[in-house]
Structure 1
């Protein structure tokens, strides 16, 4: 068997090498090129295409898969909360709606979030059970605004 008569094995081998290289930590780039090579190998196995056509298909599939991967990563990053900063996980609390558990008088009180309570500040006095929304976090104190009952 001459290699020129069975180009699918070349692309299967190229795909395997690229996938092994991905295991060494290329950050995804070799993964998509390896998958493109395997797809071209499958196409070459089914259809008798010339070498130039197969290499063009490999280039096209590599570019398409790399673009789709990039678009997916970008979408995933945009879906993550932009409020969360490194070492400030409490920023995730902004926007949460909750209730007052200790009346807010003279601007200070407590609110319930999940299974705990947090110190809270508000511009107005609020009684226990009043709904509020977290609008900011200053250290371990939440700034809240009153919501309509």
Structure 2
């Protein structure tokens, strides 16, 4: 009985060490192996007569199962692909597809549109002030636009 009590405590200590490593070196890998060690400790509490080989096999199987559960079940739910993430630091590209009103007429292919609280340079066909345009592309800091019917 004394050996089994020590054994499940050892598994829990290993679990705490692995989870502490996860805190210092984040990446979700050590966390799931630590969870497998904790479950192995619970298993040893329930079945104290398990041999060392059986404990090791249970730990390895639980580690693979917990890592697979994270990889295939939890990880896809945690990934968020919000629109605009790929364009986070490319502010002009976030405007593609949006419509704006010209605050300065487009003359000789150049004009300005009110975007948020600022004016952006636009290029496109000549249009009068107040025309609604849609952004179709970005060239540096100039929005390429087309008229909206």
Equivalent pairs counted in the alignment come to 143
TM-score of the superposed pair, with normalisation by structure 1: 0.71
Runs of 5+ unmatched residues, structure 2:
none
Larger Rg: 2
Runs of 4+ in 1 over 6 A off after TM superposition: none
Question: Cα offset for 1:138?
Answer: 1.0
Contact 2:10 2:41 in 1 (8 A): no
Q: Are 1:23 and 2:23 counterparts? A: yes
Q: After superposition, where does 1:1-149 map in structure 2 within 5 Å?
A: 2-5=2-5, 8-38=8-38, 40=39, 44=43, 47-48=46-47, 50=50, 51=55, 54-55=58-59, 56-68=61-73, 70-72=75-77, 75-76=79-80, 78-79=81-82, 81=84, 84=87, 88-122=90-124, 124-148=125-149
Question: Cα offset for 1:117?
Answer: 0.7
Q: Which whole-Å deviations, capped at 9, do the CAs of 1:7-49 have from their partners, x for residues lacking one?
A: 54344222211111112224221123224444x2585388548
Question: Cα offset for 1:134?
Answer: 1.3
Q: Tell me the distance in 1 between the aligned counterparts of 2:43 and 2:142.
A: 64
Matched position secondary structure for 2:129 = coil
TM-score of the superposed pair, with normalisation by structure 2: 0.71
